[in-house]
Homo-oligomer: A and B are copies of this chain.
Amino acid sequence: MNFTGRAGQASCACAGGPANARMIPTADPKLRFMAIEFTLRPSLLRGAWHTERAKIRADLIMQKAARIVQARSPDDPFEDHCWKDVIPDDVIELYSNYRREVGVGPSPALVAIDLYELVYQGGAKPVPQVMKVYPNSCGEHAWAAIAPTKRLFAAARAAGLPVFYSTGDTRPQSQPKNVRATRRQGVRIDRELYAIRPEFKPRPEDVVITKVRASAFFGTPLAAHLTQLGVQSVIVCGESTSGCVRASAVDAYSLGFHVTLVEECCFDRSPLSHKVNLFDMHHKYADVLHVDEVVRHLEGLRAQA
């Protein structure tokens, strides 16, 4: 499936590959991601597979391929994202050498950032309206993300992905007094407000990371848990795009994980910050994908059963 092209290569027929082939070739020679864990050749399985696998994996993570600095066509799918209306064409042109194939990496986990009640307060109304009473709400943006995020969760669970959540640490003795995750004034530490929304209720087998800073990785054992489970990639959703999502995505990338951000499942109080931050991350640290693409990929993993 060519996530860059996103042109419905659902046809990717199983062709060739040796014997019990698990490779999922497609018409497009650039396609790479689909079921990477299954593409190991028997000769790799038997023998010095580590180095080979390492190479494949490094390639997958970094996608440096050739530097594609062509003129950007108006319908370049790499830039077909929500930031189109705020990032001028000439700025996008400045980032043309970041262009590359994108996708979901191997052995993924779902990491849901801060889907807690606090940001849904006041309901699906414009932020300027709700924030007078609920200064931390993301209002309509939070509510608009519920439906796509439910789809994402369903697909992730169906594909058997490990699921991690983050939320604020509200325990009375978890930190020195007066310490908070960002510089915002006057956030009440209220346990119920940091409970995960019922739509995404954690299951007993899930892990809920509590944190005292923006990143779900900072001052938490999240990376250790992922490593211990053999996770190599994270699919990130949640809020806020310009705060905890960005801090978490940058850390995940730095830590060596492949990072996918699901555009429709991330939100922020400010659409401008949402868009510019997704733009930044897409070019530097993560593959921003549409929820349709990610769900289709996860269904693909499952469908191979």
Binding site for B on A (CB under 8 A): 18-20, 22, 37-38, 42-43, 45-54, 57-59, 61-69, 86-88, 90-91, 93-95, 97-100, 106-109, 127-128, 131, 135, 158-162, 171-180, 182-186, 202, 204-215, 218-232, 242-243, 247, 250-251, 253-257, 269-270, 272-273, 276-277, 279-280, 283-286, 301-302, 304-305
Contact = CB atoms under 8 A, between A and B. Distances in A.
A68 B185 contact: yes
Tell me how many chains of this kind the complex includes: 4
B50 A185 contact: no
Interface of A is mostly: loop
A224 B58 contact: no
A135 B69 contact: yes
A87 B97 CA distance: 27
Given A177-B205, A219-B220, A243-B284, 8 more contacts: A22-B45, A37-B45, A48-B301, A57-B229, A58-B229, A176-B207, A183-B283, A272-B276
14 contacts: A20-B42, A59-B178, A94-B131, A94-B269, A95-B270, A184-B284, A219-B221, A223-B227, A224-B254, A224-B256, A228-B256, A242-B280, A247-B250, A250-B250
